Amino acid sequence: MFDPHDPLGIDDLLTDEDRAIRGTVRAWAADRVLPHVADWYERGEIPGIRELARELGSLGALGMQLTGYGCAGASAVQYGLACLEVEAADSGIRSLVSVQGSLAMYAIHRFGSEEQKRQWLPGMAAGEIIGCFGLTEPDHGSDPAGMRTYARRDAGGDWVLTGRKMWITNGSVAGVAIVWARTDEGIRGFVVPTDRPGFSAPEIRHKWSLRASVTSELVLDEVRLPADAVLPEVTGLRGPLSCLSHARYGIVWGAMGAARTCFETALAYARSREQFGRPIAGFQLTQAKLADMAVELHKGILLAHHLGRRMDAGRLRPEQVSFGKLNNVREAIEICRTARTILGANGISLEYPVMRHATNLESVLTYEGTVEMHQLVLGKALTGVDAFR
């Protein structure tokens, strides 16, 4: 039988365990996020963010794919399904999950010392400690190689960090920040406890997107750190870029969650809303929109599955992640915008989720590599010519 919610039968690709994880995260989001998220969005704050982080920790959703140190050791497909279900509720909450697990925890897990892993990962996996990831600066976004934040070695071996990071998710609520800085030996990553003198994280207000997410500046004013605060296993941009590739993989799935919610909302609305004496779902123009939305939604989910399987097999290339992020975020935002038109005036109301998702995706389109950057990554892979500069 044709299932309008799964027209390609993609569910057949899942194991029972995959379905169980997906069901648990979906039920959590329905209970803990959906009833409140429009209010959080309107207010531009999440009052119980620490509690939410702990709950995500108990679900095993933080650092989900990592192994040991209290992490769930889930597959790439299972992590992707969790991202999809969280983002079906709101991209801001999925951003919390991505930054915590795929950026901050992943950096420590992949490049940290044994001591750093033991000190930070169990608390972060449990959601007791929130992490952030500081790469972007006011003058260096797409081109982080030009970063100005500088870490100098002091006589006793200490590091002293000075600089500013911008647009940092979770910044003001973080207990630990992974900060990337220029040093005399190249770009290095630092594990910075946020209670260090000289560290502050003023929140960025007046956002029209990702309003149910904390976004901050990081100010590092001569922050003194011990010699072992540096991530020992990596030097150069390869460090932050491999973390970003991991987080982008989650976005490939997550964006389809936002798109799914908008599609389902538009479908239900079109069936019940009547104009000219019949449901608007009966107009060919509405059906064309719904058909095109369904095609792109399920193609995107299929693509996410494909990339997930490659990641589980250890065969996922960064260019393939760029392919997925470019396609799925671009198509997701289009689906949300089309859903908005189907809802007419109601489409602009927070009573319905479509405008919230569409405006959230404006950020998702830009962070973790802009659309243009991923086009350039693919362009370079296709042509062999670097067009970045």
Active site residues per annotation:
368
Q: Is 84 within 8 Å of 249 (Cβ atoms)? A: no
User: Applying CB under 6 A, which of residues 53, 96, 99, 104 lies at the interface with ligand FAD?
Assistant: 99
Q: Is 183 in the site for ligand FAD (CB under 6 A)?
A: no
Strand-pair category, 274-275 with 150-153? unpaired
Task: Print the binding letters for residues 203-242 with ligand FAD: x by CB under 6 A, - otherwise.
Answer: -------x----x---------------------------
Considering the rule CB under 6 A, would residue 373 count as an interface residue with ligand FAD? yes
Kindly state the smallest distance separating residue 267's Cβ from ligand FAD, in Å: 29
- Asked if 168 is part of the footprint of ligand FAD (rule: CB under 6 A), the reply reads yes
Q: Is 388 in the site for ligand FAD (CB under 6 A)?
A: yes
Q: Which is nearer to ligand FAD, 239 or 266 (CB)?
A: 239
Taking CB under 6 A as the rule, does residue 104 contact ligand FAD?
no
Using CB positions, name the residue nearest to ligand FAD.
141
Does 366 bind ligand FAD (CB under 6 A)? Our answer is yes
What CA–CA distance (Å, rounded) separates 343 from 373? 33
CA–CA gap between residue 330 and residue 375 (Å, rounded):
11
CA distance 238 to 220: 23
Stretch binding ligand FAD (CB under 6 A), from 58-66, 121-129, 161-169, 230-238: 161-169
Helix (H, G, I), strand (E, B) or coil at 36: coil
Write the binding mask 114 to 153 for ligand FAD: x where contact by CB under 6 A, - elsewhere: -------------------xxxx----xx-----------
Write down the least CB distance from residue 26 to ligand FAD, Å.
24
Of 72, 363, 365, 374, which one interacts with ligand FAD (CB under 6 A)?
363
Q: Indicate the pairing of strand 186-193 with strand 150-153.
A: unpaired
Residue 386 interacts with ligand FAD (CB under 6 A): yes or no: no
Question: What is the widest separation between alpha-carbon atoms in the chain?
Answer: 81
- Asked if 191 interacts with ligand FAD (CB under 6 A), we say no
H helix intervals, 90-148: 91-98, 106-111, 114-125
Instruction: Identify which range of 64-72, 288-296, 303-311, 359-367 contacts ligand FAD by CB under 6 A.
Output: 359-367
Burial profile 116-154: b = 16 or more Cβ within 10 angstroms, e = fewer: bbebbbbbbbbbebbbbbbbbbeebbeebeebebebeee
Q: Say whether residue 254 binds ligand FAD (CB under 6 A).
A: no
Range list of H helices, the chain: 16-32, 37-43, 49-59, 76-89, 91-98, 106-111, 114-125, 238-272, 284-312, 318-342, 354-366, 371-383
Give 60's contacts (C-beta < 8 A, 6+ positions apart).
71, 72, 74
Whole-angstrom distance, CA of residue 217 vs CA of residue 195: 15
Long-range pairs of 2-9 with CB within 8 A, sequence gap ≥ 24: 4/267, 4/294, 5/264, 6/298, 7/294, 7/298, 8/298, 8/302
CB of 45 to ligand FAD, least distance (A): 14
Residue 338 CA to residue 127 CA, distance in Å, equals 36
Closer to ligand FAD by Cβ: residue 127 or 369: 369
Q: Which is nearer to ligand FAD, 89 or 267 (CB)?
A: 89
154 binds ligand FAD (CB under 6 A): no
379 is a contact residue toward ligand FAD (CB under 6 A):
no
Chain residues binding ligand FAD by CB under 6 A are 99, 133-136, 141-142, 167-169, 210, 215, 363, 366-367, 370, 372-373, 376, 388
